[in-house]
Structure 1
Amino acid sequence: MNVSTRKTIMIVSVFMAKAIVMAVWAWCVIALSHWFLRIFMEVTPTAVTLSSIIIPMAMSAYYSGWFTDHVDKVEKRYAEEEARQSGNSSTRRDG
C-alpha cells in the first residue's frame, strides 16, 4: 500500500471518528439544553436561549479546530515518510 493511499485512509478514518464523536456530543448538548430550558425558562428565558445557541457553536469550533490540527499532523508525517522513501536528502537527518 503506497503512502498516499495510507494517508487518505487515515484522514477518512479520523474524519469518521470525529463525526461520530461530534454527533454523540451534539445529542448530549441538545438533551441538556432541553432540560435546562424546561427548568430555567421562567427565570431567565433570554440567557437560556442564548446559551443553547452559543454552547453548540463553541463546541463545533473547538472540534473542527482539533480535527484540522490533527489532519495537518498526519499530512506532515506522511509527507516526511514519502520524502524519505523517495530518497530526498533535504528531509533526511544525517545524525
Structure 2
Amino acid sequence: MSPNITLTYELNPPHGITAEGLGTTKTHELPVSAGNCSLKAYYQSVREAIAKGKELVGEDLTIWRDAVGNREQSKELKSPIKTKEDVEEYENEEDENEEDE
C-alpha cells in the first residue's frame, strides 16, 4: 500500500441547497510516491499531492459557492451605524483609540 494524503471536509450549506452531485462531506485520497526514491523526490511528491488536493477542494468549494449564491449574505450582520450621529460617534471612538496608541 502506497502512502496517501487524505483531505476530508464537511460543509453546512443553508437548508435545501445542493451542488451538482457533490455531497456535503467529501474525501480526496491523493497518492504520494514512496518508491525507492530519494528524500528530495519523496517530498516533491508530497508537495505535488498537496497542490493537487488544494486544487480539487478549491474546485468543489467553487461549485458550492455558486450553488449557495446570495443566500449566505442574509447571515451577514447589518452595520450598526444608522444615523449621522452614529457615524460621528464611531469616528470619535476611532480618533480616541488612535490617540491611546
> TM-score category by the smaller chain?
0.3 to 0.5
The structure where helix makes up a greater share of residues is 1
The structure where strand makes up a greater share of residues is 2
Bigger-Rg structure (1/2): 2
- Highest RCO, 1 vs 2 (Cα 8 Å, sep ≥ 6): 1
**TM-score, normalisation: structure 2:** 0.42
